[in-house]
Amino acid sequence: MEFGLSTHLVHPERLGCAHLDALAQAAFTRVELFALRSHFDYHDTAAVHALRSWLNETGLTLHSVHAPIATELTNGVWGQPFSIGAADAARRTLAVEEAARALAIADEVPYGYLVVHVGVPDPYATPGDNQADAVCRSVRELHTLAAPRGVRLALEVIPNRLSTPDALVRLVDEELEIRDAGICFDFGHAFLMGDVVEGVEIASGHLLTTHVHDNGGTRDDHLLPFGGRIDWPAAATALQKIGYEGALVMELAATGDLDATLGAAREARRRLETLFDPAQADWNAWNDLQ
């Protein structure tokens, strides 16, 4: 089992090589880029070239890119949200165009998955944000751009009616019939919406990648695994039962103390490793001491 980290844990800051080096020093091998222009300007060709250089220097693999969810984050205030499910044609087109810009990163830095929000989470949605027909049109357009680049669309489990595990399975299988699209199973979001184990079982056969984080059951806290109320032994068993062999990508809250967060993430990873493969976890722990 490989483990990754999303740059979401430093999303209020401008991403630099030092951030990726810190992730690598914490013994993570894969990274998901949180595509937010105030964090990483995916419109800027020079920034994408720099990202390729940083990855080469640190030895990290770009596992996935999270499609843009908003225009920016400035002084703790989010800009206008993007929605590929917007009823308004101009808003929907803008969301698709921004996701397409993030897809184009793969022309310089190959990666496997574009993680896409199907609409907007219910707590932040406005009327017209989450329209099923707009989603279908948008995903088809993105798939046309993603497939030639070798990027698969991973539609994320988020709290809205279009993005429950069963709704996403129906979208992929019945409405879109796109064989290489699938699901990003977000454990924190799934827990807010219901039963994590049931959600994993429903997503079986469609699960491409993950977002691993925890919460107390009422807010999307993006806590470290074991820091909230999710039953991680049960979740790990469910993943093993469906034969999931992809990466576990932690998507953690930005605390402002990167070293402390990475130290705690490393310990959480060890605990997860023990659930999946105790022998491998012991070997990794011994290696870390050398």
For residue 177, what pLDDT is reported?
Answer: 86
Interval 176-198 mean pLDDT: 96
Q: What is the mean pLDDT of the chain?
A: 94
Cα–chain center distance at 109: 17
Residues 6+ apart with CB under 8 A from 278: none
Of the candidates 160, 86, 78, the residue with the CA atom closest to the CA atom of residue 122: 160
Q: Is the pLDDT of residue 282 over 70?
A: no
Handedness of CA 184, 188, 190, 195 (dihedral sign): positive
pTM, full prediction: 0.94
Q: How confident is the model at residue 277 (pLDDT cuts 50, 70, 90)?
A: confident
Task: Tell me: pLDDT of 289 over 50.
Answer: no
pLDDT of residue 286: 44
Domain positions in the chain are: 3-289
Distance CA 290, CA 7 (A): 28
Can you tell me the distance from the alpha carbon of 205 to that of 94, in angstroms, rounded to the nearest whole number? 31
pLDDT tens digit string along 245-270? 999 999 999 999 999 999 999 999 99
* pLDDT value at residue 269: 97
Q: Is the predicted pLDDT of residue 151 greater than 70, yes or no?
A: yes
pLDDT band (50, 70, 90) for residue 76: confident
User: Which pair of tokens denotes residue 215?
Assistant: 């919460």
CA distance 76 to 22: 23
Tell me which of 3.30.160.250, 3.20.20.150, 3.40.50.300, 3.40.190.10 is the CATH number of domain 3-289: 3.20.20.150
